[in-house]
Amino acid sequence: MKGIINKGIQEMAETLLGADAWTKIKSKAGCEEPFFAVSQDYPDEMTIALATAASEVSGMSVDEVMFEYGKFIVPNSLKKQYPAYYALAGNSAQEFLCNMDTVHENVTRNIPNASPPRFEYEQTPDGKLLMHYKSDRGLCSVLRGLIAGVGDLFEEELEIRETACGRNGASHCTFEVSF
């Protein structure tokens, strides 16, 4: 995974749990990186080890850690790293979410070996957004957090419901978002 992911986990841990907790998380994960370069590749196993260690240190489940990470990274780490994309992504939570596929594509276009998730969208007759998340990594807990973080960013109350999950046998995850 790209370093922005691990850097975001670090920033979340330091902000929500404290610097000492981050030191414990790195130690438990066996991570000896002095810092994370945002566009550098790191093994997926390192990211999973950091999330698992954050779970052990915080007392949250790994899914809860990944949700909190997703929620944290939108208004914090990603906003700092990619301000130009934020300016173009939209003026509402719905616009922002509907541009996530384009933003992922543009951000990773010049990064060798990037394998970003893909998103497809549907609008329901009652105004809900269906987000179809396609990724071999199965980080649907992160996406649920990202959606919540987008709501926080725009100060909008969102209702998020996962209607299909790739980790439970579906071909991909689908999230229904009410605005």
6-33 pLDDT per residue, tens: 999 999 999 999 999 999 999 999 999 9
Q: For residue 173, with 0-12 CB atoms within 10 Å meaning exposed, 13-18 middle and 19 or more buried, which class applies? A: buried
More confident residue, 134 or 138: 134
Domain at 82-178, CATH from 3.20.20.10, 3.90.1520.10, 1.10.357.10, 3.40.50.720: 3.90.1520.10
Q: What are the two backbone dihedrals, phi and then psi, of residue 133, each rounded to the nearest 5 degrees?
A: -105, 120
Output the pLDDT for position 29.
Answer: 98
Quick one: average pLDDT of 30-42?
91
In the chain, where are the structural domains located? 3-62, 82-178
pTM for this predicted structure: 0.91
